[in-house]
Structure 1
Amino acid sequence: MAVGVFVNWRGKTINKEVHGGVRAAWFLYVLTVVTNVVIVPNVLNMVTYLHGTMHMGVSGSVTTAANFFGATSRFAMIGAFLSDSYITRAKTMLLIGPFMFLGYGLLALQAYLPSLHPPPCNIEAEPNNCKEVQGKNAALLYVGLYLSAFGDGCIRSCLPSLGADQFDHEDPKESRQQSSFFNWYTFGISFGGFVGLILIVWLQDYKGWDIALGLCAVIVLLGLLVVAAGLPFYRNQVPQGSPLTRILQVVLVVAFRNRKIEVGEGLEEAHESSTEVGTGYNGSLSQTNSLKFLDKACINRGEKGDWLVCSVTKVEETKIVLRMLPIFISSVIGYISSIILFTFTVQQGGLTNTRLGKIHVSPATLSVIPITFQMLMLAVYDQFIVPFLRRRTGYRGGITHLQRIGIGFASMILACVIAAVVEKKMKRAEVQMSLFFLLGVSDVTSFTGLLEFFNSEAPRGMKSIATALFWCDLGLASLMATFLVDAVNRAQGMVTR
């Protein structure tokens, strides 16, 4: 770790004995858990709220819920850009995170005050007599939803990267702890979702949405206070300036100024003679032999300026981003099936008997089953499988990121096959359990593997943006899953007719 790259919350050089490590990561684990206690049940149960309380149509409720999830992914890019370019990740979370608290506070207020939501009625029994939310009340609903999405998206893009910053990848012990951090970060997401799907969904069903949403706002506030308490212990990476500007400089120089020039020798000399200093941190990226056409941006024609000649480090940053794009695109396609399977878990729960004695289990709570499998497998994977594989392969994570991602998507193929069998033979409960098991395998491997891949492969000045790419993966996959389900339904309707 280049110590000069990291500072404490006062902007002074860090002390590795005081700053970072597992102690600092614990504050981030807490925020991970509490944000997912809030977001997971609300995402899965949002259609119920919009349709049953706000009296939106089914299609409008589904569209609004999908847009909310997509907005969270898009807002992640804003938080990532700010934290990589101008302010530290911890400050970004503490400055923008309160918008999540404010959003849920507004939603709770709207659910509590009768004047801010439609009068109660049974929309299933008498849909024509139910008044849909509109006007100022509809505006308040959307403001609350998107404020919470803005805060949550920015937290999601910064938190994993800030956690990884607490461990020095050049130190053997801390390098292993960094890999383990992503496993336990994923565990925190699952555990938070587990608690939320039991506690928050129960409150929504039996105590009212106003109490449930109000508690969500309080939980978010407590999580932010815990992160603020950890400020004296964090290693904060110094922002490196806009990474998008650096990439644009490389592309424009190659595309226009030097497009007719052949790549020659002396690129390293061009880098050393450039007046700019790469990305602003100690050390630079070495020249590689891939994507050689981008090396044209390094050719010095005797002129100075960031938009006239680029350093080797800038060019290599651009190459890294381009090399990650195939993984980004393929993982979007891979996650479509995962989102459909989790969605249909809730949908099928609504068509089955979900009573346990006198207790009625909400269909959204059925997602606890794959989440439980995921938590158990994450603990086993981190404590037993990784050490075993590490001894065999010598790799800190046991297997490479791409191998882990591949295993996850392979298990997703099997899960889809089993899901098709379940649709045909609904009474075979043991098949359903196999599906949940494979969903757990997929998330333990592909989810954590992708998150760690984007973070480890990204240049130092683009860690948060790389993490945001991961969340954009899920957002795009959700959008494509919606299109796919709609296309299948249309095709099935045509065949039926």
Structure 2
Amino acid sequence: MAIVHVSDDAISRDSELGTTPLLQHDTVNGAVDFKGRPAIRSQSGYWRSACFIIVGERIAFYGIGSNLITFLTGPLQESTATAAKNVNIWQGTASLLPLLAAFIADSFLGRYLIIVGASLVYILGLGMLTLSAMLSSATISECKPETKLASCSPKFHITILFFFSLYLVAIGQGGHKPCVQAFGADQFDNHHPKERNARSSFFNWWYLTMAAGCLLTLSFLNYIQENLSWVLGFGIPCLVMLVGLLVFLFGTKTYRFPNEGNKKKSPFVRIGRVFAKAIRNRRINTLSDIAIKDEACDMVTHQRSKQFKFLNKALLTPKGSKDEEACSVSEVEEVKAIFRLVPIWATSLVFGIVYAQVRTFFTKQGVNMDRTVYPGFVIPAASLQSLVTLAIVIFSFIYDRMFVPIARAITKKPSGITMLQRIGTGIFLSIITVVMAALLEMKRLEIAIEFDLVDKPNAIVPMSVWWLIPQYFLFGVAEVFTMVGLQEFFYDQMPDELRSMGLALYLSVIGMGSFLSSFLVFVIEEITRKEDGRSGWFNDNLNQAHIDYFYGLLAVLSVIGLILFIFNAKSYIYIQKGIARG
């Protein structure tokens, strides 16, 4: 859908044609409606539009990802290590794709078209995923009780269809996730007092619907998938996503769109230009070779410009050059601001690695434990992930109403603690989480040995699954600190025009963490593999595996990461003046 710039002449022509003239005070500055006309405040945007946008994508995503490892080790008959690697790679891909989607949306197509296109890909992927589950179920149903498990594995083409569908889902959510929240916020005018306050409420409601969708998925869909039908368990998210798209399209006439006529040069073009200029001028070393603007001369001596000095050459223009236009100071400083975020991003990846375990080995731990709630009802192991969400909801309130006031009284800072202190606290809590998980797994293995269950891979160890509650709940608290802190930090410290990319960047911490987790599993599996070909730490028989060793390794890596994070945080200089260092 093309959005065009509307001039005052166009408004006058509307009046001549007998249409209602658009009063300046009733229009939203910088926004147009779906036909490219100035957006009328009383007829567009605000909650009337936002309500169409807050719909079911999280239900669809969690409906697939939360219990994926169970499907891979069940109907697809993959080993525990292979399934964990596949889940991590898929999760990582789904978390990194928002970076590409944010770039395309901000530079070319706009958020609306990306949302619609991504939703169609999303629905196609979910539909094909449902079909692959149907085919794999048909293959397993043909097996006789005496048939060996290997011969019951789905055929190769079914596996290919499943993974192709799975990555279509990743592409769809990668385009949908970074754009739909930003597009919802676009419906509120930041220059209007009432709408500015409502926009803050929008983010709260967005988070609550996400949490509600996650809880619904983990408590309802996981049970359907494991006890009734994987076909139905994948089909429901497909139906939810389809309804979500129809509701979103139904609200099109009420939406506000950015006025393309006011659009500035893409920030990515400016960043590329700074790099190109700096590289082109890399051989310039003497003042006799360059022509420097007065503004550039002043900034070269600026304290902040002493960082990443090679980019300062983008401020210079060789004498005699046909291209006399050097990059501005603000453009160079914009790139430097992004560079300063890289060490914080890199040292936060240890949290992303621990995050990847919640949907993989945390879930596998619970599979072989006693999950009976009452006779006849067994809770799915993946449903325990709802404890993370529950902890987030509960502790978010405690953090805002109790922790911040107490911390504010001690530190005298408006936010209680800085953004980087908040992130570091969450990383510290994640270390405690994996240590607890390691100790619990050691106890579970001891009980398996005590009851002679080591050689019985499908036996239920007489240990209640509720022992996993502390590690799930504590990780939810850690997520309130680190994930919310990362979101706020990358949004706040990014240049204004790149804040949507900042939201995608914080998500990439989870994506890269998943890839790193998958890499660690691969390396450890190769190192610890037995001479007879059996797996070591990640044996399919969890009673013979040593996930506790893996958790211990993650704890050591996290401690190292936290030390490096603290070092970088102490030297970080916030963009805004007056904010204390982290």
Kindly provide the amino acid, as one letter, of the partner of residue 335 in structure 2.
T
Kindly provide the amino acid, as one letter, of the partner of residue 110 in structure 2.
T
The equivalent of 1:411 in structure 2 is 429
* Percent of aligned positions that are identical: 28
Per the normalisation by structure 2, the TM-score is 0.70
**Contact in 1 for aligned 2:407/2:416 (Cα 8 Å):** yes
The equivalent of 1:93 in structure 2 is 115
The equivalent of 2:57 in structure 1 is 35
Once the two structures are TM-superposed, the CA of residue 410 in structure 1 deviates from its matched residue by: 2.4
Deviations 1:353-409 (A, max 9, x none): 101111111111111122211122224445665688789989886654323222222
Q: Against the structure 1 CA distance between its residues 63 and 345, is the aligned structure 2 distance closer, same or farther, given a 3 Å change threshold?
A: closer
For residue 147 of structure 1, the aligned residue among 164, 168, 177 is 168
Distance 1:429 1:54 in 2: 25
Q: Against the structure 1 CA distance between its residues 429 and 57, is the aligned structure 2 distance closer, same or farther, given a 3 Å change threshold?
A: closer
**Contact in 1 for aligned 2:63/2:233 (Cα 8 Å):** no
The equivalent of 1:44 in structure 2 is 66
Q: Against the structure 1 CA distance between its residues 393 and 379, is the aligned structure 2 distance closer, same or farther, given a 3 Å change threshold?
A: same
The equivalent of 1:266 in structure 2 is 293
Distance 1:478 1:345 in 2: 14
Once the two structures are TM-superposed, the CA of residue 346 in structure 1 deviates from its matched residue by: 0.7
Distance 1:196 1:89 in 2: 27
Distance 1:270 1:117 in 2: 73
**Contact in 1 for aligned 2:225/2:233 (Cα 8 Å):** yes
The equivalent of 1:279 in structure 2 is none
Once the two structures are TM-superposed, the CA of residue 15 in structure 1 deviates from its matched residue by: 5.7
For residue 487 of structure 2, the aligned residue among 451, 455, 458 is 451
Distance 1:249 1:381 in 2: 43
The equivalent of 2:471 in structure 1 is 435
Distance 2:126 2:204 in 1: 29
Kindly provide the amino acid, as one letter, of the partner of residue 277 in structure 2.
V
Distance 1:164 1:352 in 2: 44
**Contact in 1 for aligned 2:355/2:510 (Cα 8 Å):** no
Distance 1:125 1:21 in 2: 60
**Contact in 2 for aligned 1:66/1:479 (Cα 8 Å):** yes
- Structure 2 counterpart SS, 1:340: coil
The answer to whether 1:344 aligns with 2:368 is no
The answer to whether 1:198 aligns with 2:219 is yes
The equivalent of 1:274 in structure 2 is none
**Contact in 1 for aligned 2:116/2:245 (Cα 8 Å):** yes
Q: Count residues in correspondence.
A: 476
Distance 1:9 1:388 in 2: 48
Distance 1:488 1:197 in 2: 30
The answer to whether 1:102 aligns with 2:124 is yes
The equivalent of 1:250 in structure 2 is 274
The answer to whether 1:217 aligns with 2:238 is yes
Kindly provide the amino acid, as one letter, of the partner of residue 489 in structure 2.
F
Once the two structures are TM-superposed, the CA of residue 77 in structure 1 deviates from its matched residue by: 2.5
Q: Against the structure 1 CA distance between its residues 138 and 35, is the aligned structure 2 distance closer, same or farther, given a 3 Å change threshold?
A: same
Kindly provide the amino acid, as one letter, of the partner of residue 372 in structure 2.
R
Q: Against the structure 1 CA distance between its residues 403 and 62, is the aligned structure 2 distance closer, same or farther, given a 3 Å change threshold?
A: closer
Distance 2:105 2:84 in 1: 32
For residue 156 of structure 1, the aligned residue among 172, 177, 181 is 177
**Contact in 1 for aligned 2:129/2:162 (Cα 8 Å):** yes
Alignment of 1:80-479 (within 5 A): 80-112=102-134, 120-121=142-143, 126-135=148-157, 137-166=158-187, 182=203, 184-231=205-252, 232-234=254-256, 236=258, 240=264, 242-261=266-285, 266=293, 268=295, 289=305, 291=307, 292-301=309-318, 303=321, 309-357=326-374, 358-382=376-400, 399-425=417-443, 432-479=468-515
Deviations 1:303-326 (A, max 9, x none): 5659x6323343232122212211
Q: Against the structure 1 CA distance between its residues 344 and 61, is the aligned structure 2 distance closer, same or farther, given a 3 Å change threshold?
A: closer
Once the two structures are TM-superposed, the CA of residue 484 in structure 1 deviates from its matched residue by: 2.9
**Contact in 2 for aligned 1:52/1:123 (Cα 8 Å):** no
Per mean C-alpha deviation after superposition, the further-off stretch among 176-185 and 193-202 is: 176-185
Per mean C-alpha deviation after superposition, the further-off stretch among 180-189 and 60-69 is: 180-189
**Contact in 2 for aligned 1:186/1:448 (Cα 8 Å):** no
Distance 2:467 2:362 in 1: 13
Q: Against the structure 1 CA distance between its residues 242 and 129, is the aligned structure 2 distance closer, same or farther, given a 3 Å change threshold?
A: same
**Contact in 1 for aligned 2:59/2:214 (Cα 8 Å):** yes
Once the two structures are TM-superposed, the CA of residue 208 in structure 1 deviates from its matched residue by: 1.3
**Contact in 1 for aligned 2:384/2:472 (Cα 8 Å):** no
**Contact in 2 for aligned 1:347/1:363 (Cα 8 Å):** yes
- Structure 1 counterpart SS, 2:154: coil
Distance 2:121 2:152 in 1: 32
CA RMSD in angstroms, aligned pairs only: 4.0
Q: Against the structure 1 CA distance between its residues 368 and 143, is the aligned structure 2 distance closer, same or farther, given a 3 Å change threshold?
A: same
The equivalent of 2:564 in structure 1 is none
Per the normalisation by structure 1, the TM-score is 0.81
Once the two structures are TM-superposed, the CA of residue 418 in structure 1 deviates from its matched residue by: 2.7
- Structure 1 counterpart SS, 2:370: coil
Q: Against the structure 1 CA distance between its residues 407 and 102, is the aligned structure 2 distance closer, same or farther, given a 3 Å change threshold?
A: same
Which one scores higher on RCO, CA 8 angstroms, separation ≥ 6?
Answer: 1
Distance 1:150 1:266 in 2: 45
The equivalent of 2:518 in structure 1 is 482
Q: Against the structure 1 CA distance between its residues 186 and 472, is the aligned structure 2 distance closer, same or farther, given a 3 Å change threshold?
A: same
- Structure 2 counterpart SS, 1:260: coil
Q: Against the structure 1 CA distance between its residues 406 and 66, is the aligned structure 2 distance closer, same or farther, given a 3 Å change threshold?
A: closer
The equivalent of 2:557 in structure 1 is none
Distance 2:146 2:412 in 1: 59
Distance 2:199 2:333 in 1: 24
